[in-house]
Amino acid sequence: MSDITRSDATPDAVPGGHRQVANAGLFFKRWLANPLQMGSIIPSSDTLCRRIAALVQRKEDEVVVELGAGTGVISRALLAAGVPAEKLVVVEIVRDMADHLRAALPGVNVICGDAFELAKALPESMHGKVGTAICGIPLVMLPRAYQRRFIAAVEAVAPGKGFLLYTYCITSPLPYRALGLSAKREVWTPLNFPPASVWRYQPAR
């Protein structure tokens, strides 16, 4: 089951702007509730967010899907980089976080749903129309079976596209060959705390 809502709020109706999006208290509360769903106890740095946004590939009729958006700092960077709000889809499994994102990200499609069940979470009209999927879920901490399940979920809605994964591992967080993927580290940001990488994974040809 999923719950998709497009916020009708205006930027002026969201007090605090970026400060609200980067709500550290809410972020920490979310991490305490389930550390395996989040890879860090603090939001990503502005530098990391901008570099992730620069990696997005999207045709005019395609959407960008962000999985595990936390408090929305990367979502804001995607919007600032030119992704139209109506073409940004944020999937967040925790309802209070999804509610926060709806208030903080006017016009963005916010889905309260499971990133491991994307074919069910995303409307059918978006299947095959995903330009870039961005993952903030700490897949490195999950069993191989769950990693395979995530890859299959992305493939179901974005066949052949793969996904971007930001991580705090120096080396590849996924055993990509065993998972049938190719891998490329696109970004290394030592000034992020903790230092972060962005990996692009795609189905191996």
Using alpha carbons, list the distances in angstroms from residue 88 to 29, 64, 66, 74.
25, 5, 8, 11
pLDDT tens for each residue of 120-168:
999 999 999 999 999 989 899 999 999 999 999 999 999 999 999 998 8
Separation of alpha carbons 83 and 87, rounded Å: 7
C-alpha 54/C-alpha 88 separation (Å) is 15
In angstroms, the first-to-last Cα distance of the chain is: 33
Indicate the pTM of the whole model: 0.80
pLDDT one-digit tens code per residue, 14-54: 333 343 444 444 444 454 444 444 444 445 578 889 999 99
Supply the pLDDT for residue 196. 87
Q: What are phi and psi of 18, to 5 degrees?
A: -60, -30
What is the pLDDT, as a whole number, of residue 3?
55
Decide if pLDDT at 1 tops 60.
no
In this predicted model, what pLDDT tens digit does every residue of 62-86 receive, in sequence order? Answer: 999 999 888 889 999 999 999 999 9
